[in-house]
Amino acid sequence: MSAEATSPGAPIRRRGRPRIDLRRLGRVALLGPVSRDRLPDAIGHVAEAHRAHHPDADLSILHRAYVLAESSHRGQMRKSGEPYITHPLAVTLILAQLGAETTTLTASLLHDTVEDTDVTLDQVRDEFGDEVCYLVDGVTKLEKVDYGAAAEPETFRKMLVATGDDVRVMSIKLADRLHNMRTLGVMRPEKQARIAKVTRDVLIPLAERLGVQALKTELEDLVFAILHPEEYERTRALIAAASARPDGSGAARQDPLTAIAENVTTVLREAGIPAEVLIRPRHFVSVHRVGTKRGELRGTDFGRLLVLVGEDADCYAVLGELHTCFTPVISEFKDFIAAPKFNLYQSLHTAVVGEDGAVAEVLIRTHRMHKVAEAGVIALGNPYAADGGTGPQAAEPADGERADPTRPGWLSRLLEWQQSAPDPDTFWTTLRADLAQDREITVFRTDGGTLGLPAGASCVDAAYAQYGDRAHNCIGARVNGRLATLGTVLSDGDTVQLLLAEDAASGPSPDWLDHARTPAARIAITGWLDTHPEDTPSPHGGRPGQPSQGHSRPGPQPQEPVGAGLAMAPGGTATAVVDRPDATVRLAGCCTPVPPDAVTGFVVRGGAVTVHRLECPAVARMRSVGRSPVGVSWEDSTEYRVTLVAESFGRPRLLADLTEAIATADAAIIAATVEPPSEQRVRHTYTLQLPDAAGLPGLMRAMRDVPGVYDVSRARHPAATV
């Protein structure tokens, strides 16, 4: 199968291979078994495609699997009117053309027998062995009669867990969905849209992560045609027009890519580099994306050049010749050979300018890289066999990690967080959000290990990836040797060291959710917050937006209620009054509201009302889950007190300069705490009285302007008076 399908509704043709008529195969299948000395015609095309990749494969097991599948499905028809056996045959042919090994093809032929016929898993195991049985079980759907609306998400959960032990389960599912999408036209429009959306949100990202570009690109085009028919037709018309552009004489002029390809072929031949230069037409979605990005399509935007060579070193030799003989577009150069993508993809990407100014994108890879780029994990054969073929499953390495690349970081993370999401709706929503993150980075730990994280992940994500629930105690991090906040976004190749508090009672701040990208981190943080009142103090802070110290310090005291229906603000100078006269009132420790902050309140466990600043993230979170706000107002006050925390690097005269800045802003220092220096950092906590609340922003700016001070923020909790 080729990834360059330009007609998403049609099977892909191979050079020299006739198009296969599945309706005819269905009629052949109904004729029943044939003589033992040859395969039935209906499976013969699968055998031919399989032998092209595996010349020595034993086809007898395919024969037996076909006979069982055909006899089991006999009499069943698809909604398209074809005999049902045409579906497992088509799925198996897709996998055979991609190079799947015999065990996968056997399971593919049988993948619907347990679900749709009287065949049992025990029968499959007795006849074909444990491996085939496991693969068939992995792709068998759960019954709606048992799971109701949760059947689809729980089926995917079951399938993903099975994929964690054998990636071939997902290979079969992707091929199964591709054939179903090809024949989706017989369904009602609303059902087509529903299936297309699940394909877009779940199956296509999984195909991308497993590197199966041949399936991914055709699935994208099929989904595009269903969900965006107008854009699809517009793109189809552009591609059709680009393939037949007449010049002034009425004759079709030469495709600009063809001219550049001929020049590239000449350059490489003269350089003595054996290479095959091909033109790869872009598929529909790719053309649409390029057009959306550039506004107007150029003649070379409808395809790319593919240069195939024999060895890795030849890839760089081709790159050197192209950059020497053509003008390169340096911004388009990417080296995915030295740094492969997380889905096994390897290739050199560049772009060169032709003689007439046309820019052509060029992909340079070996034949082996091309096979993996098209088929991904399917090209690995049986990755769990000691010989890489169809032998017994290989033993696990001593360190417990898989030796093969089919259990990548994203899959391990997915399998971990799904255990913490027992609710089907939570799992389904989180799975779609997780799969939407389509790039991955690798960061290094100081102990020599690595962490695979989605692009955009922060130190919060790294903490939960490394320590699990122990990350609740994280108070800071060092990134590339320098102290950093927990909200710091990590880049590929960063070295990160997470700092944990000694006090095991520490917990995450609600603000951490603003910086968590991974489902594991979000589920763990949300779980902790759900089991603790939102105003429970955290002794070590650890707020992502505020650097934390790497040493112990006295924990702040919680806000105590001072009466029914009201609570005293920090400093004892103003009172919050709520619209529930009999309620106990507390000021939230997460945002420490003080007059004249705009505030609101929410009823928490025990009937108490917690008061938050309107911009506090907890307010949006509570409203999102349907919590109704309670009206809050401040009693009149002639004083205004606030507690500020200044984070700084230690230096002489720092304290004097800070107190001078405070005095210049007409603020009086009621209390001050200076913690012992740690890691060359010093934390100053000041309780200040201002004549006017409007002067607070200017005061904070003045404190930040003091040399050495890198952050000034409102305290989460009132400071102890000393």
**What residues are annotated to the active site?**
115-116
Dihedral sign (CA 143, 164, 72, 122):
negative
CB crowding 216-241: b at 16 or more within 10 Å, else e: bbbbbbbbbbbeeeebbeebbebbee
**H/E stretch holding 307:** strand 303-309
Cα–Cα nearest to 409, from 389, 387, 434: 434
Token output for 396: 């696990």
Cα–Cα nearest to 50, from 165, 26, 60: 60
Token output for 130: 């444990």
SS in 3 state form for 473-533?
Answer: HEEEEEECCEEECCCCECCCCCEEEEEECCCCCCCCCHHHHHCCCCHHHHHHHHHHHHCCC
Token output for 169: 């389960």
Task: Judge residue 305's burial from the number of C-beta atoms within 10 Å of its C-beta, 0-12 exposed, 13-18 middle, 19 or more buried.
Answer: buried
Contacts of 535 (CB under 8 A, 6+ apart): 558, 559, 586, 587, 588, 589, 590, 604, 610
Token output for 49: 């495609």
SS in 3 state form for 227-259?
Answer: HCHHHHHHHHHHHHHHCCCECCCCCECCCHHHH
How far apart CA 321 and CA 319 sit, in angstroms, is 6
The count of residues in the chain is 722
How far apart CA 223 and CA 6 sit, in angstroms, is 14
Query: Cα angle at 701 between 699 and 706, to 5 degrees?
Result: 100
Contacts of 7 (CB under 8 A, 6+ apart): none
How far apart CA 345 and CA 404 sit, in angstroms, is 14
Token output for 113: 């027998």
Distances (CA, A) of 628 to 324, 621, 623, 625, 632: 67, 11, 7, 9, 13
**H/E stretch holding 601:** strand 599-603
